[in-house]
């Protein structure tokens, strides 16, 4: 094996390899096309529309939808793992008590600073367009999903 | 001279003894930032405030009352940390023009110790990515692309060298490039899946991911609340220890910081490693690991063995699910964290006025790039009622299995794990962008991600140059909150390998005396 650049420590004679000479055998590979679960059925337009509503973000084009399909396929690998009887973990600090501060006011009075970054404001209010108006339905919206 | 030999010049001492003035140091760094602009490492350079801070530092030194080791030391901060009065963009259209009204705790701590904040560094948009190529301000170029070491090894292409440059890795690529090109002595990054260690490996600098809960996240724009940590990038391990000392500790503003007292420490010069037990996790020979890095990893293991340490192969059986688990948990948390960006109180706001929902949708449509939107949508999918148990809860259970793997190994007597940091050296930009962000992230994060899953401290130590003349690093993973042990071992290793200094060709050397200080490995 061609010697790597410099470093006396690197030129020391070879011993038995201490690191695994071969990659994990059962590994299906990650990223790219390997490492995905079995090809599943596509996500329905209703769900895609629902997601756009929930996230208030659009798929924009078929690439966006493909991205989701690939993400789901990738995540399906999780089902290979046996998690019977395993408790879920939501924080690595679960063994410690959550810190609670005393209910004392230590800072505030920064209305001016907080309003600086808002584009639309009136006196000390943030101004929003009218609420309680649902997003137009799929048929009426300008969205990529319309064509599906 | 190699970066880490005993003769490294000590900038802090130089400042104290008056051999160099903070304003001079600051000016040199600012000039260097200008002349290395092509690296695109900085989004914002805070020239005026930096000079003011340097002047104040100079006053303190004149009075003989410096605030500490960091007084007058130029530093840079990744652009996802809030910095009062300075634009904080997260490399996204969503926050272009957003001037933070407050300092992140870690930024405040640096300023309180007199550090000079030079500017905000470039990153992948909202820290999502492993190349620092997906931000709105363009990709960051690896300084090593312009090094003598790389140029000597590369075959000149027919078109200009413009197409030859390699990526920094990510997402804290700007910070890594800034430290690597001597424009600052230390930089803050963030680490959620390897975002500090990955670019550290590609740029030949030390990248430390501290234990989750040790350093405050207040003011760090969150990606994954249960995994994010501020990361530290420096040119040598001693400097990382100094930074850690000034940043760690409980913060009442961040309830996820532990309440234990934290004592800053100086690293001992370890001479006897015979009591150490080094674990080599076999699953970290991931498919795609370059033969070069495999050989390096092997040599490193030999190094420890020959010095008397116990080197054992161990197993972390769920390693390969770590990246899948991360993918689900990350997108789920991102879906939640990105919900705050609606244009109402800060950030970009669309002109759409029909209704709040349509305004939010338009704002987010305009403000986020494909990567961010993709993750939000995937996250929302995994959190749907019909999918919650199958994906989100399942991933949380797998997370416990991954964390338990580490617990078992450390309980068996192993002190530190030794693994590669990346699968290969830095890829050329043109090659890197052939695959999409998510694919690249899953490939590149595979060796670094598990430490975030388990909340463990980990560090990249630059080890050697590859056949292409680019840096390659190795990673050490330690037990929770045992940073002192981790850094002590890392420092010993750093001393053994004597990683070479980058020989930057494009940068003119002005005053060699002051430049010497900048090029020094450490400020401590």
Contact across the interface for B397 and A87, Cβ inside 8 Å: yes
Contact across the interface for B361 and A86, Cβ inside 8 Å: no
**CB-CB neighbors (< 8 A) of A42 in chain B:** none
Tokens for A137, please give them.
Answer: 């339905």
CATH number, position B452 = 3.90.1300.10
pLDDT of the residue at A1 = 37
Option in A92, A96, A120 nearest B349 (CB): A120
Query: Which element (helix H / strand E) includes B156?
Result: none
Percent of chain A having pLDDT more than 70?
A: 74
Max Cα–Cα distance, chain B, nearest Å: 72
Residue A42 pLDDT > 90, yes or no? no
How does DSSP classify residue B391? I
**Most A CBs within 10 Å: which of B302, B462, B474, as the mutation test of the A interface?**
B302
Contact across the interface for A134 and B324, Cβ inside 8 Å: no
| CB count in 10 Å sphere of residue A11 | 10
pLDDT of the residue at B17 = 85
Using only C-alpha atoms, what is the Rg of chain B? 22
The catalytic residue among B57, B78, B120, B147 is B78
pLDDT of the residue at B481 = 96
> Is-contact B213 A93, C-beta < 8 A?
yes
Summarize pLDDT for B29-40 with one digit per residue, the tens: 999 999 999 999
Nearest in space to B161 (alpha carbons), one of B140, B180, B145, B142:
B145
Residue A140 pLDDT > 90, yes or no? no
Give A22 or B365, the one with higher predicted confidence. Answer: B365
pLDDT of the residue at B436 = 82
Contact across the interface for A19 and B298, Cβ inside 8 Å: yes
pLDDT of the residue at B487 = 97
The b/e string for B353-367 (b: 16+ C-beta within 10 A; e otherwise) is eebbbbbbbbbbeeb
Residue A56 pLDDT > 90, yes or no? yes
- Residue written as token pair 């939000």: B376
Residue A103 pLDDT > 50, yes or no? yes
Q: How confident is the model at residue A11 (pLDDT cuts 50, 70, 90)?
A: low
Option in A29, A89, A136 nearest B399 (CB): A89
Contact across the interface for A9 and B497, Cβ inside 8 Å: yes
pLDDT of the residue at B18 = 87
Nearest in space to B499 (alpha carbons), one of B459, B474, B463, B473:
B463
Tokens for B104, please give them.
Answer: 């992140």
Q: What is the ipTM of this complex?
A: 0.88
> At a CB cut-off of 8 Å and minimum separation 6, what does B214 contact?
B229, B248, B249, B257, B258, B262, B457, B481, B483
> Is-contact B369 B125, C-beta < 8 A?
yes
Residue A5 pLDDT > 50, yes or no? no
β-bridge mates for residue B189, sequence order: B231
Judge whether B336 lies within some domain.
no
| CB count in 10 Å sphere of residue B230 | 29
**Most B CBs within 10 Å: which of A14, A30, A97, as the mutation test of the B interface?**
A30
**What is the number of domains present in chain B?**
1
d(CA B442, CA B454): 18
B171 catalytic residue (yes or no): yes
Q: Is B393 left (phi over 0), alpha (psi -120 to 50) or beta?
A: alpha
pLDDT of the residue at B13 = 82
Option in A12, A56, A74 nearest B364 (CB): A56
d(CA A146, CA B219): 40
pLDDT of the residue at B492 = 97
**CB-CB neighbors (< 8 A) of B357 in chain A:** 56, 131, 133-135
Judge whether B340 lies within some domain.
no
**Most B CBs within 10 Å: which of A1, A7, A19, as the mutation test of the B interface?**
A19
The 3-state DSSP class for residue B232 equals strand
Nearest in space to A111 (alpha carbons), one of B101, B42, B396, B146:
B101
d(CA A64, CA A38): 20
Tokens for B287, please give them.
Answer: 């498919």
> Is-contact B331 A101, C-beta < 8 A?
no
pLDDT of the residue at B157 = 61
B467 to chain A: nearest residue by CA? A4
pLDDT of the residue at A20 = 84
Residue A15 pLDDT > 80, yes or no? no
d(CA A118, CA B357): 17
Judge whether B371 lies within some domain.
no
Domain that holds residue B58: 10-321+398-518
Judge whether B496 lies within some domain.
yes
Judge whether B392 lies within some domain.
no
pLDDT of the residue at B9 = 40
**CB-CB neighbors (< 8 A) of B398 in chain A:** 78, 81, 83
Judge whether B345 lies within some domain.
no
Contact across the interface for A5 and B469, Cβ inside 8 Å: yes
pLDDT of the residue at B5 = 25
Instruction: List, run by run, the mean pLDDT of 10-residue segments along chain B (524 residues).
Output: 32 86 94 96 97 97 92 96 97 95 97 96 95 94 95 71 84 97 96 97 98 98 96 96 95 93 92 95 93 96 96 95 94 96 94 93 94 95 96 97 97 97 95 85 89 97 96 97 97 95 68 45 54
Judge whether B326 lies within some domain.
no
pLDDT of the residue at A136 = 80
d(CA B314, CA B283): 9
**CB-CB neighbors (< 8 A) of A86 in chain B:** 397, 400-401
**CB-CB neighbors (< 8 A) of A118 in chain B:** 344-346
Contact across the interface for A78 and B400, Cβ inside 8 Å: no
pLDDT of the residue at A7 = 56
Judge whether B362 lies within some domain.
no
């Amino acid at each position: 094996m061609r010697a790597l650049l410099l470093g006396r420590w690197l030129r020391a004679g070879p011993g038995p390899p201490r690191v695994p000479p071969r990659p994990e055998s059962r590994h299906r590979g990650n990223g790219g096309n390997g490492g995905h679960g079995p090809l599943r059925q596509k996500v329905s337009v209703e769900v895609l529309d629902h997601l756009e509503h929930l996230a208030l973000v659009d798929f924009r084009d078929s690439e966006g939808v493909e991205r989701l399909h690939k993400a789901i396929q990738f995540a399906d690998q999780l089902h290979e793992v046996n998690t019977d009887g395993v408790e879920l973990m939501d924080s690595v600090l679960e063994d410690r008590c959550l810190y609670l501060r005393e209910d004392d006011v230590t800072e505030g009075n920064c209305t001016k600073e907080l309003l600086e970054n808002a584009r639309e404001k009136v006196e000390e209010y943030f101004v929003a367009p009218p609420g309680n108006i649902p997003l137009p339905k799929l048929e009426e919206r300008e969205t990529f999903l319309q064509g599906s | 001279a190699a970066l880490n030999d005993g003769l490294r010049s000590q900038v802090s001492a130089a400042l104290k003894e008056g051999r160099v003035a903070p304003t001079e140091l600051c000016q040199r760094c600012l000039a260097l930032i200008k002349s290395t602009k092509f690296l695109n490492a900085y989004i914002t350079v805070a020239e005026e405030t930096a000079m003011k801070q340097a002047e104040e530092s100079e006053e303190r030194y004149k009075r003989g009352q410096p605030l500490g080791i960091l007084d007058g030391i130029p530093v840079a901060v990744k652009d996802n940390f809030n910095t009062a009065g300075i634009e904080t963009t997260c490399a996204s259209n969503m926050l272009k023009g957003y001037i933070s009204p407050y300092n992140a705790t870690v930024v405040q701590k640096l300023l309180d110790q007199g550090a000079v904040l030079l500017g905000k560094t470039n990153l992948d948009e909202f820290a999502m990515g492993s190349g620092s190529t997906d931000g709105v301000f363009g990709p960051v170029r690896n300084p090593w692309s312009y090094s003598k070491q790389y140029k000597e090894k590369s075959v000149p292409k027919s078109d200009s060298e413009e197409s030859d440059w390699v990526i920094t890795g990510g997402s804290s690529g700007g910070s890594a490039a800034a430290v690597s090109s001597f424009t600052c002595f230390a930089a803050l990054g963030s680490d959620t899946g390897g975002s500090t260690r990955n670019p550290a490996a590609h740029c030949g600098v030390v990248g430390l991911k501290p234990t989750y809960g040790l350093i405050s996240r207040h003011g760090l724009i969150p990606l994954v609340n249960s995994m994010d940590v501020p990361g530290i990038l420096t040119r040598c391990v001693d400097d990382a220890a100094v930074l850690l000392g000034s940043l760690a500790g409980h913060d009442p503003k961040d309830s996820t910081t532990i309440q234990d007292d934290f004592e800053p420490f100086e690293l001992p010069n370890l001479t006897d490693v015979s009591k150490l037990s080094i674990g080599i996790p076999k699953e970290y020979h991931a498919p795609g690991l370059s033969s070069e890095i495999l050989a390096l990893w092997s040599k490193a293991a030999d190094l420890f063995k020959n010095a008397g340490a116990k080197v054992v192969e161990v197993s972390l059986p769920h390693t390969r699910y770590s990246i899948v688990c991360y993918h689900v948990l990350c997108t789920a948390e991102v879906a939640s964290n990105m919900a705050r960006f609606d244009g109402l109180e800060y950030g970009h706001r669309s002109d759409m006025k029909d209704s709040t929902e349509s305004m939010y949708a338009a704002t987010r449509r305009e403000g986020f790039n494909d990567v961010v939107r993709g993750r939000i949508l995937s996250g929302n999918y995994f959190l749907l009622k019909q999918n919650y148990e199958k994906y989100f809860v399942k991933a949380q259970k797998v997370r416990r299995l991954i964390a338990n793997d580490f617990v078992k190994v450390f309980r068996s007597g192993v002190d530190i794990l030794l693994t590669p940091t990346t699968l290969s050296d830095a890829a050329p930009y043109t090659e890197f962008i052939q695959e999409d962000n998510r694919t690249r992230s899953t490939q590149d994060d595979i060796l670094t991600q598990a430490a975030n899953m388990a909340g463990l401290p980990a560090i990249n130590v630059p080890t050697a140059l590859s056949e292409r003349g680019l840096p390659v690093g190795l990673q050490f993973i330690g037990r929770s909150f045992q940073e002192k042990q981790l850094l002590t071992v890392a420092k010993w290793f750093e001393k053994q390998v004597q990683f070479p200094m980058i020989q930057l060709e494009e940068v003119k050397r002005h005053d060699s005396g002051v430049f010497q200080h900048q090029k020094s490995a450490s400020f401590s």
